[in-house]
Structure formats: structure tokens, C-alpha cells
Chain A
Amino acid sequence: MAADRQDFGALFTQAPGLYLVLDPAFTIRAVNDAYCRATMTRREEIIGRNLFEVFPDNPNDPAADGVAKLRLSLQRVLDLRRPDVMSIQKYDIRKPDSEGGGFEERYWNPINTPVLDSGGAVQSILHCVEDVTELMRMRKSETTHIAMAREQQLVIDRLRDANAKLADQMEQIRALRRYTYFFALLVENSIDPVITFLMDGEVKSWNRAAQEMFGYDKTEIVGRHVDMILPPDLKAEQDALWARLRAGEKIHDFETLRRAKDGTDVTVALTLSPIREENHEIIGASQVVRDITEQKQTQKKLLGLQEELIHLSRWNTMGMLASTIAHELSQPLTAAMNYIRAAHRTVGGLDLPEVARARDFLDKAANETKLAGGIMRTLREFIEKRKTNRAVDDLNRLVEETVVLGAAGSAEVKAMLRTQLLSGLPPIYVDRIQIQQVILNLVRNAVDAMSNSERRDLIVATAMDGPGHVCVTVSDTGPGIAPDVMARLFQPFVTTKENGMGVGLTICQSIVEAHDGKIWGEGNERGGATFGFRLPVADPVEKQNAA
């Protein structure tokens, strides 16, 4: 048995596995050669010492948990009296001073097995380990490689993403910069002044046209209050505009005045638009300014011309009216006179005192009638003496000028007026005021006729009418001409208008016929009426005289 025991002792000592025997107080009682080699210890130095004194945790590894884990496992063996297989455990080993000291990283696969006495108590613990450091190192380096590769890939991917995003953003920035640049150019070169300002009035931009109109350059006004160009007496009006802007309203062509640096006021039309942030909050406004001084002056001049024409027309109308009345009255006066003369002659042969008295009365009536005739004659001579200013003129020009004037008066009716002028018409020899009066009269009539029409479409056209005449037609979409009116169109005192006198067309006819022309009226295919007149083209002699 002793020999057996010795044999077992040698077996234990030289076994290739790594074995350590502990007593229940974890004092090292036996160790084999392999174990000593693996842990760089010497048997005589460790026998009889506490396990954890010989193998403490690596003080340089804060995560070291070898001692704690091993102690727990051993405790479990004592408590449960059965083997305890630990998972792979990092447990660094102290290197001998001859090898430089310090600790060497090691991984172990420990199994702790109780050795029971006959009473079943734990007599000792067999601590058997396998050094798996190489394995762990290989595994670790493998995982590290894979992990690193994976991480690198992630980093590359992330970089690629970031790069793409960056390129995107750069492109956006470039586009934005381009847009901003073009926009700035557009604003800067706009013919109209464009001003932007914040809601507190601070001017943010001021273009070249603004500088030209108001005399301030950018450095003088950007950053200052936009009211620098506001005439002080318009403060209330400006406040109202601000209120509308704040409410988000866009304001179109608001006519007002703005003051230039030199103190002069400019008549302008403002178009104001609120500027909103992405969150829709109104942060400022843009203001486009249009100089309408000239437009106003043109309008004024136009109105002046219109008044003049109306004035002249009125005079003309009065003359024509007098002429018409004279003509109309001359008929019954002729009749009255001749009836008186006839009566006188009829009773002339009778020699009675009553008849003598009657003859006396008839003579007086004849004298009175003659007197009326004299008044007529004076009136007619006065009308005849009215000077007519005939000159060579261009029909298209007359139409264009008149249509502008006629349209100015018809703004409230909102008729759509178009001209279709045949270019290259030969000249005419006319009194331009009179011809314009005819055109104006026809246009006004047409506009009036359409006042209750849904469609208000007015066409004024010129054309040739045979080789020797030019003509003007005025075509409306009114109700047309009633058959009973048609026959009496140009007769005086015939009217379809409530307040009309019925002399307009009669006068037109007089004027046109005085120019050796002809006037007419008819229904058109649009259901409305077309009035037209023709005039002879100027004789070469008249053209020469004019030239």
C-alpha cells in the first residue's frame, strides 16, 4: 500500500494536469510540478501558505476579480460538498523578480473538487486548472480583429454618410449663394426702388433705384428708420399701413408721397408685402416704390385735354343745336307766314270795316312772323360765321386721341374698348375738333348703350370705304337699335336716353355732312349697334395747301 501511495505521490507530482490541494482554510497543502511551472512558483515557497496570499489579484488591473470569484467557488465547494466548475477566469500571475517582476496576464479554466473524509466532511479541495491563456489570446485577438474591422467599416460608412451629407449641404449652400446673388442682382438692378425693413422700421436693404429716387445712399439709410423718407404730415397714414402689414396684408399700388433727401416730395405708388420667417411670423416687409409723378401729370394733361374737348364740343353742340332749332322752327314759321298771307289775300277783295281790321291784324301777325324769321336768319348767319378750322389730318390719330378721352370718361362703366385701326389710311381734310366730337359722341353713346349689358365690348375700327373714302365704325354689345327708332335715328329730339335731348346724332350728321361725308347706324352680328361715318380723302390740292 505504501508503495502504492508513493506511486500515487509520484503520479500526482508528475501528472501533466495542473493540480493544487487546499485544506478547508485555503492553505496550500500540495502542488504538482506542472502547476508550479504554469504559475512560475516553487513548491517549497508556497506549501503551507494561504492560496490568496500566494496568488493575489493583479494590482494594476482595476477589473481583476480572480480572488473574489475563486473564493466564492471554493466556498461553494465547502458548503455544497460537490465539484464546482468555474467559467474561464482571468487571473494574472506574479512574475518572479528574476524575470522582471510584475504580473503576467493569464486565463484559467478551474474546477474545484471536494475530497471527503469517511464522515462525509470536506477534508481537502482539489483545485485543478487548465491554462487557456493562449486560447484566450487567440480568441481575443480574433475578436478584436473582427471587431476592429467592423468598427472600421462603421467608421468608413459614417464618414461616407457624413461626406455625402456635407457634399449635399455644400451644394445647397452654393445654390443658395447663387440664388442670393442673382436675387441681390435682380433687386439691385430693379428699375423701381426696392426697400426691405424690419417690423421695427429698421431698413435692411436699399437698392440703386432707391438711391436714385431719394438721394440717400445705402450707408446713410440702412440701419436707420424707414420713416426717413416719410413726409411728417403722413404719419397717420403710415401707421395705418403698418397696421395692415402687421395683419399680414399685402398692399398694392398705394398712392402717396415720399420725401427725398433734398426735401422734394415724389408722388409714388407703394406695393408692400410682409416678409415671414419659416414659422410664419412676420419679421419685416418689402416695399417696391413706383414713381408715378409722370403718370399723374399725363393723367392731368389728359383730363385737361378732355375738358378742353368737352368745352369745345359744348360750343359746337350749342351751335349745332341752334342750327337744328333754326331749321326746325323755320318750317312752322314758313307755314304760319304763308297762311297769314293766304288769309290776307282771301279776304282782300271784301270792302267791309271788319275785314279792314282783320287785314290790319293779319299784317301785324305777318310782321311778327317776319320778325321771328329775322331772328332765325341772324342766328343762322351767326352759326355760318363760326370758323371751321379745316386741315389735313390722319383719321387713325384722331380716333386714337379721342378713344383715350372717351375711355377716360367711361372708366366707371368698365367697358372693354379695343381699336382696330387700318394703317396707311390716306389723309383727310377736316376740322379735327368737329370730327373728334363725332367719334366721342358715338363712343359715349355706345358705352351708355352697354350700361345694362353683361358683355361690354366696344370696338372702334377704321377702314377704307371705296377708293375715295375712309370710314370709322363704333361697334357695341348693347341692346341694338329698336325698329321704331331705326327710321328716325338722326332726326332731332329723338332719344332713347332718360336725360337725353336727342340732338347728339343729329349734330354728328350735320358735322359729317358738312364734311361731304355720310353717317349711318345699324344692328350688328353681336346683337348690339354699329354706328359709322365715312369721309372723303383729302384732295391733292388741299394736301398741297396744307404742305
Chain B
Amino acid sequence: MSKPAAGTTWLVDDNRSVRDSTGAFLEAIGLTVRTYASALEFLDKFESDRSGCIVADYDMPGMTGLELLETLRRRGSRLPVIIITGRGDAALEQRVLAAGGFRMLHKPIDGLELADLVEQAVSEAA
């Protein structure tokens, strides 16, 4: 565990308790966190010059985490994306990586592991 990563962690999950708790922990370890309840809400407020790391749930109504990743890549964003999921399988993981995702994590998620991954993703992107 580690020094705070540069930039912001953009956390997108429709499940409120996951969103709140994960946000609370990441902030507790000194990260800057922004939370969104849906991919569409995130895209609505996102500006392409932002830096940091996106953590998005896969299984969300309206637009999935994978679709969000694909949309960002189409718009030219290189921001690292970590997909978290409660029901994804190996096939989904392949698709996430193929679409340019940094990693897929299975729920339940330990904030410590997530924080490590976020740091890793940001340092690799830099």
C-alpha cells in the first residue's frame, strides 16, 4: 500500500452501498474520488482532459461498464478503466481486455486490492 495516485478516481456503480463504501475507503487513503450512479451520468459530466482512473461496474442499467469503456475509447480517451463485476465470467474478462480495459475485478472487492490496482493503472498510464 502506497502513496496517493495522481488524478481522480472516477467511480461508476449503480449500487449505492458499493459506491458509497468504496468511495469512502479510497478517500480515506487519500485518493480524490468522484462517484456516479450510471455510465450515462458519468459521460454527461466527463471532460476528455481529465486524468486518473475509471472504476466502473459492468452490470448497470442503460449502459454497461464495457459499453462505457468502448464509448470512451471511441471518443479518444486513454484513461485506464477497471471493470468490477458480480457475475462476469472469463469470456467477459477477455472482452474487457480486448476493448482496452486495464483489468476486471470480481465482487466482493477488497478496497486494498482495488487501491493497489488503481495506483498501478495510473502509473502505467503516465
Contacts and interface: CB of A to CB of B under 8 A. Distances in A.
Contact of B24 (A326, A332, A342, A376): A342
B109 A339 contact: no
A323 B106 CA distance: 13
B24 A337 contact: no
Given A331-B86, A335-B20, A384-B89, A346 B28 contact: yes
A327 to B, nearest CB: 4
| Number of chain A interface residues as a range | 20 to 34
A226 interface: no
Contact of B109 (A328, A337, A366, A384): A337
B2 interface: no
Contacts of A332: 17
A338 B22 contact: yes
B62 interface: no
B87 A338 contact: no
A334 interface: yes
Given A327-B87, A331-B15, A346-B28, A336 B107 contact: no
Contacts of A339: 21, 24-25
Interface residues of B, number: 23
Interface in A321-349: 323, 326-339, 341-342, 345-346
A346 B111 CA distance: 14
A235 interface: no
B110 interface: yes
A177 B58 CA distance: 85
Choose among A323, A341, A510 the residue with the greatest number of B CB atoms under 10 Å from its CB.
A341
Nearest to A346: B28
B90 interface: yes
A69 interface: no
Interface stretch (A79-87, A100-108, A112-120, A367-375): A367-375
A510 B112 CA distance: 30
A42 interface: no
A326 B111 contact: no
Given A331-B107, A333-B107, A380-B106, A342 B86 contact: no
Contacts of A373: 108, 110
Given A331-B15, A335-B20, A380-B106, 20 more contacts: A323-B87, A327-B59, A328-B86, A329-B108, A331-B86, A331-B108, A333-B107, A334-B108, A335-B18, A337-B109, A338-B25, A338-B111, A339-B21, A342-B21, A342-B25, A342-B27, A370-B110, A373-B108, A377-B106, A510-B87
Interface of B: 15, 17-18, 20-22, 24-25, 27-29, 59, 86-87, 89-90, 106-112
- Sorted nearest first, the 4 A-B pairs with minimum C-beta distance are A330-B107, A333-B108, A327-B86, A338-B21
30 contacts: A326-B86, A326-B87, A327-B59, A328-B86, A330-B86, A330-B106, A331-B18, A331-B86, A331-B107, A334-B21, A334-B22, A334-B109, A335-B21, A336-B108, A337-B110, A337-B111, A338-B22, A338-B24, A339-B25, A341-B111, A341-B112, A342-B27, A342-B111, A345-B25, A345-B28, A370-B110, A373-B108, A377-B106, A380-B87, A510-B87
